Amino acid sequence: MSRIFITGGTGYLGTVLVRQALAAGYTVFASCFSQTPPATAGATWAVLDVRDPQAVAAQFNQCRPDLIIHTAYLQTGPDVLPVTAEGAGNVARAAAAVGARLIHLSSDVIFDGEREGAYTEADPPAPITLYGEAKARAEALVAAAHPAATIVRTSLIYGFAPLDKLSRFALDVAAGRVATQLFTDEYRCPVYVEDLAAALLELGGIPYRSVLHLAGAERVSRYTFGVLIAQRYGVDPAGIPAGLSAASLTRRPRNCTLSSDRAAALLQTRLRGVREVFQAIGRQGG
Ligand SMILES: NC(=O)c1ccc[n+]([C@@H]2O[C@H](COP(=O)([O-])OP(=O)(O)OC[C@H]3O[C@@H](n4cnc5c(N)ncnc54)[C@H](OP(=O)(O)O)[C@@H]3O)[C@@H](O)[C@H]2O)c1
């Protein structure tokens, strides 16, 4: 595996993937969509709309990647299905046509969140949001077009340099800049972006197919995550209003705990829990 193509290279995860892949010695190709291609030394950038199957196929034909990591997506807006679902299908077909290994990024919100325990790779998708539906549809399209692809389901992605959008939001809530509650009954397994990128690159070298959960080792509520982030940045967590997702007017997946036991057995890279990461990185570190 020496040539890698990262779709969504300008995204939060994609940026770290590009950096880590370059450091690992890959020949790196990456795509962006609305942003100007960054001047990352060593990477070759392309502007690519994954909704355009011919453009995706032409790009892969030209770059001839051994490994493709598909992170590009949209979470909201009228183009969610064309970009997130159909776009993933386009990427999978084009990846199969050039014989490239494909890792597709999916999400824990493909589940309805109604279960008490953790979801495993064997659990079938049951989305209850438009974004969840798009991701579930993407999984099906990818599996059909590229049966050897790995579908990676992950959870909330966070990091510190720069701070991710979830953490920024929690700090805004804690500081009273945004008036809302953080839910004490909505559980996720936040994953540190550096751990996730390293695990994805390691996975690229392993012929594992089908679904794999890559999420942080610790399950926390959105409220607890907000408290931990506030404490890390010296903001008083007492300012965070606690609420119940169950009482919200919008139906939201509540318990999206993912079991990553299979990944722990398969990979050297550890997907640490939030408290372990915060402790390891310290208050000022990045
Ligand atoms: N963030 C999370 O907490 C989380 C949780 C679970 C799963 N995931 C999954 O992890 C992956 C990465 O998430 P992220 O937060 O790193 O994403 P992100 O920061 O929102 O970046 C999205 C990327 O998709 C690109 N993009 C948007 N529309 C496109 C189009 N039509 N054609 C091609 N590229 C397009 C964007 O390019 P431009 O910026 O250049 O427009 C950007 O590089 C996604 O697949 C997501 O579903 C994320």
pLDDT grade for 282, boundaries at 50, 70 and 90: confident
CATH 3.40.50.720 region(s) of the chain?
3-157+190-213
Q: How far is the CA of 239 from the centre of ligand 1 (A)?
A: 31
CATH number, domain 3-157+190-213: 3.40.50.720
Q: Which residues on adjacent β-strands are paired with residue 210?
A: 150
Q: Distance (Å, rounded) from C-alpha 34 to C-alpha 36?
A: 7
Q: Residue 163 is encoded by which pair of tokens? A: 């701070």
pLDDT digits (tens, 9 = 90+) for 57-74: 999 999 999 999 999 999
Per-residue pLDDT for 286 more than 80? no
Q: Is the CB of 10 under 6 A from ligand 1?
A: yes
Contact 44, 63 (CB under 8 A): yes
Q: Is the CB of 154 under 6 A from ligand 1?
A: yes
The C-alpha angle with vertex 89 and arms to 50 and 99, in degrees rounded to 5, equals 95
pLDDT digits (tens, 9 = 90+) for 133-179: 999 999 999 999 999 999 999 999 999 999 999 999 999 999 999 99
Q: Is the CB of 267 under 6 A from ligand 1?
A: no
Mean pLDDT, residues 21-30: 98
Give the class (CATH, top level) of 160-187+218-281: alpha beta
* Chain centre distance of CA 237: 26
Output the pLDDT for position 52.
98
Output the pLDDT for position 285.
55
Helix (H, G, I), strand (E, B) or coil at 214: coil
pLDDT grade for 40, boundaries at 50, 70 and 90: confident
Mutate to test the pocket of ligand 1, among 12, 68, 69, 193 (most ligand atoms within 8 A of CB): 12
pLDDT digits (tens, 9 = 90+) for 81-125: 999 999 999 999 999 999 999 999 999 999 999 999 999 999 999
CATH 3.90.25 region(s) of the chain?
160-187+218-281
Q: Distance (Å, rounded) from C-alpha 223 to C-alpha 215?
A: 18
Q: Distance (Å, rounded) from C-alpha 29 to C-alpha 31?
A: 7
Q: How far is the CA of 11 from the centre of ligand 1 (A)?
A: 5
Contact 174, 245 (CB under 8 A): no
DSSP element (H, E) containing 151: strand 150-154
- For residue 158, which atom of ligand 1 is closest to its CA? 3
Helices assigned H by DSSP within the chain: 12-23, 53-63, 80, 87-97, 130-145, 165-174, 193-204, 222-232, 261-266, 274-281
- For residue 13, which atom of ligand 1 is closest to its CA? 16
pLDDT digits (tens, 9 = 90+) for 181-237: 999 999 999 999 999 999 999 999 999 999 999 999 999 999 999 999 999 999 999
Q: How far is the CA of 84 from the centre of ligand 1 (A)?
A: 9
Q: Is the CB of 183 under 6 A from ligand 1?
A: no
Q: Is the CB of 59 under 6 A from ligand 1?
A: no
Per-residue pLDDT for 283 more than 80? no
CB count, 10 Å around CB of 49? 15
Percent helix, percent strand, percent coil in the chain, to nearest 5: 40, 20, 40
